[in-house]
Each structure stands twice: as C-alpha cells, then as structure tokens.
Structure 1
Amino acid sequence: IGHSRVLYGSLRELGTPDAGTDESPSYANVPFLDRPWTDWSEFVAGNAVLDSAFTLMMESLANGNVDVLRTRLKKMLQEERYHTLHGRSWMQEVKAGAALTRAWRESLEWIGPENSDVDELHREGRLAHGVRDLRRLLEERLDGHAPPSGLEWHGWEPIRRPRSATCRRVDSPHPALPRERGREEKPPCPFCRSADTEVISLFGSQVMTMQCKCHACGSFFEASKY
C-alpha cells in the first residue's frame, strides 16, 4: 500500500493526473493480480515474473530524468530486491509452467508493444529503457526462462494495458474470494507431490501463506491459505 501511494503521487510527473482525483482516467489491474490465487504456483509466478517486471519499470524510472522519481523510488527498490530473491528461489523449486507462462504474457502486455507510450517516455528520457530493453532485462533477471512467443497486439490499449478482452475494470464487483484454509487442510507438497502433509503454522512469511511440513520427503514449505 505504501508503494502504491508513492507511485500514484508520482503520476503527475509523467503527465498523468494523480489517482483518486476526479481527473484520473479509468484503469484496470493486471488480470493475474485481480483474480484469487488457488495454487502456490500462481503465487510463485506472480512474485517471480510480475514483480520483476514492475521492479524493472521502477528502476527505469529511477534512472530517468525526472528528479522527483529518482529520489522517491530509491527506498522502494531497496525493498524490492528481497522480493526478487524470494521469487527466483521458489521458481527453481516449484513446477509452475502454466502459471509462469500466464504471468510472462501479462507482464509483456503490461510493458506494451514497441513504439507505444513506454518507448515514447524512453525517447523523452523519462524512462531509462525502452520496450526491447525491458523485455531483455526481464528475461535475464529470470535466468533465461524464455517468454511466450506469438503475442497478439490487436486490441491492446495504452490505458488498460493488456488486451481489453483479458482486463477487468477495478470498479467492477470483485469476484468472491475462496475461503481461507485451516489446519485441517493438507496442501500437496511442491517437492514430491505427496498429500501426506500437515500445517504447522497458519502464519508464513507472507500474509497469505502458511507453513507446512511433508511427512513423505521431510521438506518444509509454504502454501497459500486460499
């Protein structure tokens, strides 16, 4: 929430009214973050891919020619590096193929096609990187995990970012959230896929995670509460 407040307050420096004012345009969430996650692999993919894409964009702003962004984003970037380390380490452990592909696609759609507003901001010096560089840096940051190919840009909009068919307005009713898991639940082990597990703590490293132990392989892991 704190990061969002800083970023929304900085939008005016990029020629966009502050969020929350009567002048602010409609916008939409990245669909990956707008739907309840039902599997640990989705959390891993979101943390590893989407968060890395957001961090790269903030780094590009922090290295641009807008002074207020250069100063405001420094502390945020210091905190973001821990998210990157967490996401990359779990990505190597968890089989999250489908979730990673979806997170990759939506990250690229969020960055946008070449010669869009991102490249325009790059030409103006407000962003240190253009679309091609952001795509390349994201792939490097994910240790060469290849992005999906054959993206269709028909229907892509600069305000809603992803293709409009995949995007939901934030003022629409939110889908019903799944119930929170309790200690009686037995999430499968991400290492050996065994169901012989137990929840040892309802409080994990994130608000939405709980700590678990697998009796089959002896591994400890975290699982989503939802």
Structure 2
Amino acid sequence: MRRLPLLEVSQLKMHFDAGKKRTVKAVDGVTFQIREGETFGLVGESGCGKSTLGRVLMRLYQPTEGSVTYRGTNLHALSEKEQFAFNRKLQMIFQDPYASLNPRMTVREIILEPMEIHNLYNTHKARLLVVDELLEAVGLHPDFSSRYPHEFSGGQRQRIGIARALSLNPEFIVADEPISALDVSVQAQVVNLLKRLQKEKGLTFLFIAHDLSMVKHISDRIGVMYLGHMMEIT
C-alpha cells in the first residue's frame, strides 16, 4: 500500500542577505514530499543547502518563500502556542555530538529537560523511568545517566543525542549529518541503531549526509541537492 505524505515542501526558498547588495540563495525553489514511515536521504556537496533546508523544516529559519506542510498544516503559519505543541512531533539529531550536549548537565538532565518543558508524564519518577528506557533503547546502560557528556566517546554522545530526540515521542526526525563527526567504525552502528528505532517506533526520517554509500544503506528514497536546487529524487 502506498504511504501517504507526512511532510510536503513546495517551492521553498531560503535566501540570506550577505551585505553589499549580495544575496546567498541557500535553498532556491525546492519541492518534494516525505512519506510517513520512510527515510528520505538528502545528499549533496558542502554548501549546497541541505542543512539549511533541514533547519527550515524544523522552523529554526523562517523561509523567504514557499511552504512546509505537515499533515496538512503549514508549519510556518502557526501561532506561538501551536508551534510549541508541534515541537513534540518534530525533533532533530545534530551533526556534532560534542557541541550539541550541554557539558554542565548530566545525561539524565539532558534527556529529562524536554519532558519537563512539555510537562510529559505525571511525576518526576515516571520521567526517570523513561530516561532509563531511552538509554537502553539506544544501547547505553541506565547507570550512565549520572555522568557528564565529556565522559563519553563520540558515538556514545550521539546515542545520548538520539535519546534526547526520542524523549518527546516524535513522529518526524531531521538527522543532520549525524555520523559525519564519528569514526568510520562507529558510523555503521549509529545508522543501524536509527534503522532499528524507526522500525520499533514508526519514525519518519530526513537523513542528511554527504556520504552517498551510507545514505543508500539507510534511505528509501534519495534527493540530490546542488547549489540550493533539488536536482534529482530517486
């Protein structure tokens, strides 16, 4: 059975003012769909606009033109209150596991924070149980929750970042080059982890990378970007 589109991008543009009447067209008229339950791989050379596109989908940037529609709702036309509710459904795994985790917070605090902000679960004890479950789900022992990020390897830190992204039970995750900062020996482990979590939790991914072989391994369909344009979808 053909899967329905979860997210639809139409004629999306993200232009930046570079001064002296110069404009950088990071994303320039991109249109595509991501179907529910699939992994859509996005590849292209550095500077082609793929990470900017991911950030627009997460509403970290307000697009210059075009629309991003999620289950029929225009994400960039939401009120502040509606945006807060949608934040639970859309999460992001960042490229650098060293920079994306607060070094002054324990692993427990890092994973707890989104649940506390969105007031998930009835008690603090219930949230702590979820933290332990998430750590186990990403292949880390719950006893690690009292440690700080600097005590972990790069691959382990990225697993913590994945656990944080899962803490709000999202439907859609933007994985922005989640393996590029990791050792080659660890990359396949993280990719296989994402595939397993997708199957278990019914997740939909936008997987951004420049390594075509790894994208081919994880993706159902692949979009190729060049100079802000979507050149091909296979």
The TM-score by the shorter chain falls in which range? under 0.3
Length-normalised TM-score, structure 2: 0.26
Task: Specify the structure having the higher radius of gyration (Cα).
Answer: 1
**Between structures 1 and 2, the one with greater strand share:** 2
Quick one: higher RCO (CA 8 Å, sep 6+), 1 or 2? Answer: 2
